């Protein structure tokens, strides 16, 4: 009985020694042959039943390689990288990837974006392609404030004095169409609808304004180092209500009351990231006769206006446009005009020439891109002289927002 227990105890101890030796063989490869010899000597004393168990243990330990982290050999040599042999991430010329990264003909650049931003607000500096039609809508508001002094003098004595504060508001809706006759010649026409109100007269008026026609021509093709030159002309009708054919004390006009024609020239210069521009123009107003308008007078006599000669108006403007990014831009400009040789003739033979007038304004415009091909411009104008509006506001956008996009004429 005791011999059996001793044999079983010896068998269990031998199995533990074999398992430990197999694990040590995997963790210490240099002593592998020595451990295997010791294990084999031990198993010879245990008998044939133990040999089968040893075979199973060897099979299981051989199929799994266990290497503790603490036994891993440190890397003794530094890793060397040959920069010349490292492949570049830049696509090689001629490959499809390189061709995809190259700029296409229709891609937007800084200069083309700046040009589009600039011409969307300053149309007299640009032309459209032959056969194209484009339409625009402009909404403008202007405010005039004036102080009028009414005085009566009798035999050198002032016996009546009244100061009247006047303010007038004008809203103008203008629809403009452009047509490219040639690549360097563009015709345009604009139709204004005007609404007015006057505080002093306590009246309002609304109706058609003066229809205008224009043309822009670029005589020379673009050339490096040479400023582009655009010549433009205009013809303004008198389709609105004339201020010389209404009762000036109670009514308001929606037009200027005479025909006029004008010419001018403009140029521009791109200096990244801005574009500088300037223009000069002159207009001549044609004389109006047979007016028969009552213009004041005493209790015994009445002054009746017979003819009016507008004279010549000349002006200039300059400014710059800057594009903050693809979607937002700003334009700042200054414009000034002079009017001379204006005269009034009455039926009594009396002739009156008004002094020269000067009008100047400073304007700031902000352009916002609302779609890849549409830019909306908002403008703030500040009058700098007595003959200018005190303030003006404007909103301009192409009518493709409403479905009337730029298109080719058929």
12 burial class (0-12, 13-18, 19+ CB within 10 angstroms)? exposed
Residue 323, pLDDT score: 86
How far apart CA 130 and CA 215 sit, in angstroms, is: 14
- Torsion angle (degrees, nearest 10) of CA 336, 341, 345, 350: 120
pLDDT in tens, the chain (410 residues): 455 556 566 566 666 555 555 444 444 444 444 344 444 444 444 444 444 444 443 444 444 444 444 444 444 445 555 545 555 554 554 455 444 444 444 444 556 666 666 666 667 777 899 999 999 999 999 999 877 666 666 666 665 566 666 789 999 999 999 999 999 999 999 999 999 999 888 899 999 999 999 999 999 988 888 899 999 999 999 999 999 999 888 899 999 999 999 999 999 998 888 999 999 999 999 999 999 898 866 556 678 999 999 999 999 999 999 988 888 989 999 999 999 888 999 998 888 888 889 999 999 999 998 888 888 999 999 999 988 999 999 999 888 655 555 555 55
Residue with tokens 């400014």: 319
Q: Tell me the three state secondary structure of residue 359.
A: strand
Q: Tell me the three state secondary structure of residue 3.
A: helix
Instruction: Say if CB 397 and CB 136 are below 8 A apart.
Output: yes
Instruction: Say if CB 202 and CB 170 are below 8 A apart.
Output: no
Residue 387, pLDDT score: 86
- Torsion angle (degrees, nearest 10) of CA 144, 292, 191, 181: -120
Instruction: Say if CB 43 and CB 57 are below 8 A apart.
Output: no
Is the backbone peptide bond immediately before 273 cis, with ω within 30 degrees of 0? yes
Instruction: Say if CB 382 and CB 361 are below 8 A apart.
Output: yes
Residue 90, pLDDT score: 47
Q: What is the pLDDT of residues 75-105, one digit of tens each?
A: 444 555 554 555 555 455 445 544 444 444 4
Give the pTM.
0.68
How far apart CA 93 and CA 89 sit, in angstroms, is: 12
Question: Strands, E, within 130-226: which ranges?
Answer: 132-154, 157-182, 185-198, 203-208, 212-217
Residue 250: Cβ within 10 Å count:
10
SS (H, E, C) 31-90: HHHHHHHHHHHHHHHHCHHHHHHHHHHHHHHHCCCCCCHHHCCCCCCCCCCCHHHCCCCC
Residue 166, pLDDT score: 74
Q: What are phi and psi of 80, to 5 degrees?
A: -105, 135
Q: What is the pLDDT of residues 219-245, one digit of tens each?
A: 998 888 889 999 999 999 999 999 999
Residue 25, pLDDT score: 47
Residue 355, pLDDT score: 87
Candidates 234, 271, 273, 240; CA nearest to 258 is 240
Chain centroid to CA 26: how far?
73
Residue 336, pLDDT score: 96
Strands 351-353 and 357-371, by their bridges, are: unpaired
Q: What is the DSSP letter of 4?
A: H
Residue 53, pLDDT score: 44
301 burial class (0-12, 13-18, 19+ CB within 10 angstroms)? exposed
Residue with tokens 């603490």: 70
């Amino acid at each position: 009985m005791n011999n059996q227990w001793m044999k079983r105890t010896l068998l269990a101890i031998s199995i533990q020694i074999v398992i430990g030796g197999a694990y040590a063989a995997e963790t210490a490869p240099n002593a592998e042959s020595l451990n295997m010899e010791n294990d084999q000597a031990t198993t010879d004393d245990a008998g044939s039943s133990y040999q089968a168990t040893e075979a199973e243990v060897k099979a299981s330990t051989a199929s799994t390689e266990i290497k503790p982290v603490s036994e891993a050999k440190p890397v003794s040599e530094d890793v060397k990288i040959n920069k010349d042999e490292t492949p570049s991430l830049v696509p090689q010329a001629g490959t499809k990837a390189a061709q995809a990264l190259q700029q296409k003909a229709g891609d937007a650049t800084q200069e083309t974006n700046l040009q589009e931003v600039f011409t969307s607000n300053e149309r007299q500096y640009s032309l459209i392609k032959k056969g194209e039609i484009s339409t625009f809508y402009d909404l403008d508001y202007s405010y005039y404030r004036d102080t009028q002094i009414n005085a009566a003098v009798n035999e050198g004595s002032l016996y009546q004095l009244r100061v009247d504060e006047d303010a007038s508001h004008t809203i103008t809706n203008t629809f403009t169409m452009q047509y490219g006759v040639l690549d360097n010649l563009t015709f345009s026409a604009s139709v204004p609808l005007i609404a007015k109100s006057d505080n002093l007269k306590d009246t309002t008026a609304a109706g058609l304004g003066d229809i205008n026609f224009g043309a822009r021509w670029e005589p020379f093709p673009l050339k490096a180092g040479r400023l582009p030159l655009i010549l433009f002309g205009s013809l303004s009708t008198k389709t609105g209500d004339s201020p010389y054919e209404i009762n000036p004390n109670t009514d308001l006009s929606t037009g200027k009351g005479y025909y006029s024609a004008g010419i001018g020239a403009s140029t521009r210069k791109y200096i990244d990231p801005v574009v500088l521009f300037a223009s000069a123009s002159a207009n001549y107003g044609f004389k109006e006769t047979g007016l028969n308008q009552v213009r004041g007078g005493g209790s015994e006599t009445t002054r009746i206006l017979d003819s009016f000669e507008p004279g010549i108006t000349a002006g200039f403007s300059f400014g710059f446009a800057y594009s903050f990014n693809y979607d937002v831009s700003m334009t700042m400009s200054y414009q000034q005009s002079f009017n001379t040789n204006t005269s009034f003739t009455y039926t009594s033979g009396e002739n009156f020439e008004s002094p020269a007038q000067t009008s100047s304004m400073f304007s700031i415009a902000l352009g916002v891109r609302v779609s890849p091909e549409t830019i909306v411009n908002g403008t703030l104008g500040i009058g700098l002289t007595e003959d200018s509006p005190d303030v003006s506001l404007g909103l301009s956008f192409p009518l493709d927002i409403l479905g009337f996009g730029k298109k080719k004429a058929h």
